[in-house]
Amino acid sequence: MLFNSHVFIFGFLPIVFFGFYGIARYSHKLAALWLTGASLFFYGWWDVRFVGLLLGSTLFNYGAGYLIGHRFLNKQKLLLTCAIISNLILLSYFKYANFFIENLNYLAGTALNTAEFILPLGISFFTFTQIAFLVDTYQGKVKEYNFIHYTLFVTYFPHLIAGPVLHHKEMMPQFAEPSTYRFNYENLLVGTTIFFIGLFKKVVAADGIARYAGPVFAAHTAGVELTFLDAWGGALCYAFQLYFDFSGYSDMAIGLSRLFGVTLPLNFHSPYKSVNIIEFWRHWHMTLSHFLRDYLYIPLGGNRKGPVRRHLNLLITMLLGGLWHGAGWTYVLWGGLHGGFLIINHGWQWLHNRFWHRSPSKLLRGLSVLITFLAVVVAWVVFRADNITTAAAMLKAMTGMNGFALPDVWLPKWGAFGQWLTAQGVHFSNTNALIGGGALNWILVSLLIVWLAPNTQQMMVNFKPALNVPEGSNPNLLLWQPSYAWLVASVVCAVVSILFISELSEFIYFQF
């Protein structure tokens, strides 16, 4: 079941909402159980066969955590190691088995058969969530072992399919808080507003721009040679499609959870405004970045063993982070690119701190944002491409190796300006014109939004929309408040979004 579907908005959500608060008037435990059951139904709507897998994973990790936390036979480290390995085996079986077999066949010349696996939705997220729980338990950070709350923590439908990656210490206390089970008008208004902002981002912005990116990335396979304009246009369209898709999902998850009195951690915070790659990863998929830092980078040694080891740890972390996104060499290469970007960024910061102590001017900060954004877009090409050959063809065109020609159909439309460009040496020719005026309009509007407009959390900052919102997020512009003007704006946003739901389109992060 998708958040951006009529059956969810008009069927599942109202039933679960009214049922939750109706039951909570008599029993908080039964209300939590109702929400757990609804979450399992939500997951089973996609494929009921995997509900057993989700429940089995939950039972196994709860049991392992209970034994670790209660010092069973004083073998906590052994129990933790076995439990983590078991989780990774499960994840690897569904997500990486065919990838391993295909590469083994290629390298060793074997002819092993691959299997027809269906990747269980959200397996990466509920696996990582529970690995964090096990490690926190081992470190003595877990104090509560309420089984109903734990099951709800793992299966909670607003986060189950595509995150955020939750931490036990952030969520379990909220499920135990009596105020969570009392209906609150502020939660209703804040939650619905955030949800419909996210829905608008998905069905209007992300799905609207997606139709321009697909043909460009399919061009190489179809034997079409891309021009400089087409390649950059397609890359930028995908960058904005992914931005609005993931931002929209993150908003919708936060808004849905707020309806039930539960505040999720922030997972997305205007990453394209980042002045460097380090800041980008603090603002893009924030909970995954925190997980990789706390449970992989720091255990590898972090920055405690010298600069060479630090850079190696960064590279390993990002390579594995790329592989987490998918079983393919394009994802590994994408992770490696970002690992290299981070190493360069840390090196630049060391030089800056050592030889240039002045704060950067606004011009330099703007240039830093532009350079960071372009580096991210280049990496997204590798992330999106079906294979490395397609990625290489895209990047070749983006460097101008296929020429800089503009579509000749633009020349008569531009009149005197077109003639002036021709006189300056700009070449117009009969190109495939995969990127036209409509795509360029989308790109321009998207740039203005992601660079100049406040994000959802900034607009809602006075009502604590999410956990871990960075300081200084008050934009002093478009601040949300319960007023008639915002009510009208929210209703318009909701109506337009619902009208744009014509055919269902999954969120991009569902495949991870």
Active-site positions read 325
Report how far residue 348's alpha carbon sits from residue 83's, in angstroms, rounded to the nearest whole number. 40
- Distance (Å, rounded) from C-alpha 259 to C-alpha 188? 5
Alpha carbons within 13 angstroms on the beta-carbon side of residue 272 total: 23
Q: Helix (H, G, I), strand (E, B), or coil: what is residue 284? A: strand
**Terminal-to-terminal C-alpha distance of the chain:** 16
Q: What is the DSSP string of 63-117?
A: HHHHHHHTTGGG-HHHHHHHHHHHHHHHHHHHHTHHHHHHHHHHHH---PPPP--
Tell me, what amino acid is at 264? L
Closest CA to 340 of 364, 316, 306, 309: 316
CB 247, CB 453: distance < 8 Å? no
Give the length of the chain: 512
Distance CA 405, CA 414 (A): 15
Which runs of E-coded beta strand occur in 405-471?
A: 406-407, 428-429
Cβ 135 vs Cβ 167: under 8 Å = no
Cis peptide before 360 (omega within 30 of 0): no
Coil vs helix vs strand at 125: helix
DSSP 292-306: HIIIIITTTTTTTT-
The number of beta carbons lying within 10 Å of the beta carbon of residue 384 is: 23
Amino acid found at 345: N
10 Å Cβ neighbour count for 440? Answer: 15
Distance of CA 162 to the CA centre of its chain: 7
